[in-house]
C-alpha cells in the first residue's frame, strides 16, 4: 500500500493548448485531493502527441496521477494506447465493459460498432471505474509505487465519477489516507477583502496556511489545519454554506434531498439560468421540478 500522498494532474488535449477550450477539471480534482489528504504538486497540459504523453507519464514523481482526456472514440484519443505502450501492458477487451456499454448505447438508440469497441479495451491489470454520465469508462492502473487514474475529459463526467462511493473505496486499495473533512470552507455574502481582514490576526493565515479562492459570488477558504475550524465557525457563522468544498448548487440540491423536499423556479430575465445551474448537479432531477 502506498503511503506517500503526493499528486499530479496531467491534462491531455490540443484544444486546451490552442486556447479553443478552457480546462474545467483541475478545480474539481484538486478539491477531491485536498479533502482526501493528498498534496497536489503539479499540473501539466499535454497535446495529443504520443511521445509527449508518454514522457509526461514516465517522468512524473507523484504517487497519485490523474490523467484527463483522450479516452474517447476519435482518432486523436490516444491516451489508453499510449499508457499501455509506455508501461508495456497489453490492451485487453473487457467483456463486462462491452455489456455495460452496449446497454448504454441501446438506451440511446445507437449501434455498437468497432469504434465503441475500442472504449472497452484496458491495459492489463487495470481496474475499471464506472462512468455514470458518459460512455468511456475510467480506469486505475498501478505501476510500481504509482497509481494512474485515467478519466474522460468531460467535466460533468469527471465530477460524477469522483462522487461515486466506489471511487473512494478503490483509491483506498492503493493508499492509506485520512479524509480531511472541513478543509475547504465556502463563504457567501462577504467580499474577499472582508474575509482577509477578519483573518489577518490568525497566525496560520499570516504563514500562508490559510488561502482564499474567490469564485463568482463566493469565496472559499482553503485550510491546511482543521484545528482552525472552531475559530472560523465563530467568526463567520451563517456566512458559511459548506465545510467540504461543494459549490452552492450542490449544497442546495443535497439539502433538498435530505429534507425530502422539491423546488421549482419562476424565471423571466435570467433566461433559465437558475434552472440550468441547479440541473448541472448530478441527481438534481430527484428534487427539481422545473421552471
Q: What is the pLDDT of residues 48-87, one digit of tens each?
A: 899 999 999 999 999 999 999 999 998 889 999 999 999 9
Q: What is the pLDDT of residues 212-265, one digit of tens each?
A: 888 888 998 888 777 888 999 999 999 999 988 788 898 989 999 999 999 988
Q: What domains are there in the chain, each with its CATH number?
A: 6-172 (3.40.980.10), 184-242 (3.30.70), 248-290 (no CATH)
Q: What is the pLDDT of residues 84-107, one digit of tens each?
A: 999 999 999 999 999 999 999 999
DSSP 87: T
Q: Determine phi and psi for 18, rounding to 5 degrees.
A: -80, -10
The residues, ordered by sequence, that sit 6+ positions from 216 with a Cβ below 8 Å of its Cβ are: none
Spacing of C-alpha 24 from chain mean position = 9
Of 232, 260, 71, nearest in space to 150 by CA? 71
Q: Which residues pair with 146 in a beta bridge?
A: 143
- How many CA atoms, within 13 angstroms, populate the side-chain half-sphere of residue 277? 14
- How many CA atoms, within 13 angstroms, populate the side-chain half-sphere of residue 246? 17
Amino acid at each position: 500500500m502506498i503511503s506517500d500522498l503526493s499528486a499530479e494532474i496531467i491534462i491531455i488535449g490540443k484544444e486546451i493548448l490552442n486556447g479553443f477550450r478552457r480546462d474545467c477539471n483541475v478545480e474539481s480534482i484538486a478539491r477531491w485531493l485536498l479533502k482526501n489528504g493528498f498534496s497536489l504538486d503539479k499540473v501539466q497540459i499535454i497535446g495529443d502527441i504520443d511521445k509527449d504523453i508518454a514522457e509526461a507519464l514516465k517522468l512524473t514523481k507523484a504517487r497519485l496521477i490523474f490523467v484527463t482526456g483522450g479516452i474517447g472514440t476519435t482518432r486523436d484519443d490516444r491516451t489508453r494506447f499510449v499508457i499501455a505502450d509506455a508501461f508495456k501492458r497489453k490492451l485487453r477487451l473487457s467483456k463486462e465493459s462491452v455489456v455495460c456499454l452496449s446497454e448504454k448505447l441501446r438506451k440511446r438508440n445507437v449501434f455498437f460498432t468497432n469504434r465503441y469497441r475500442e472504449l472497452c479495451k484496458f491495459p492489463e491489470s487495470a481496474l475499471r471505474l464506472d462512468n455514470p454520465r458518459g460512455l468511456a469508462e475510467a480506469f486505475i492502473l498501478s505501476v510500481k509505487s504509482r497509481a494512474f487514474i485515467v478519466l474522460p475529459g468531460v467535466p460533468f463526467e469527471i465530477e460524477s465519477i469522483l462522487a461515486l462511493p466506489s471511487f473512494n473505496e478503490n483509491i483506498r486499495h492503493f493508499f492509506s489516507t485520512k479524509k480531511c473533512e472541513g478543509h475547504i470552507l465556502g463563504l457567501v455574502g462577504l467580499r474577499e477583502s472582508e474575509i482577509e481582514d477578519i483573518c489577518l490576526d490568525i497566525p496560520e493565515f499570516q504563514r500562508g496556511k490559510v488561502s482564499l479562492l474567490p469564485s463568482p459570488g463566493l469565496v472559499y477558504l482553503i485550510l491546511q489545519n482543521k484545528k482552525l475550524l472552531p475559530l472560523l465557525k465563530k467568526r463567520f457563522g451563517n456566512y458559511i454554506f459548506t465545510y467540504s468544498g461543494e459549490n452552492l448548487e450542490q449544497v442546495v440540491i443535497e439539502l433538498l434531498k435530505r429534507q425530502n423536499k422539491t423546488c421549482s423556479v419562476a424565471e423571466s430575465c435570467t433566461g433559465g439560468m437558475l434552472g440550468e445551474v441547479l440541473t448541472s448537479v448530478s441527481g438534481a432531477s430527484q428534487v427539481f421540478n422545473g421552471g
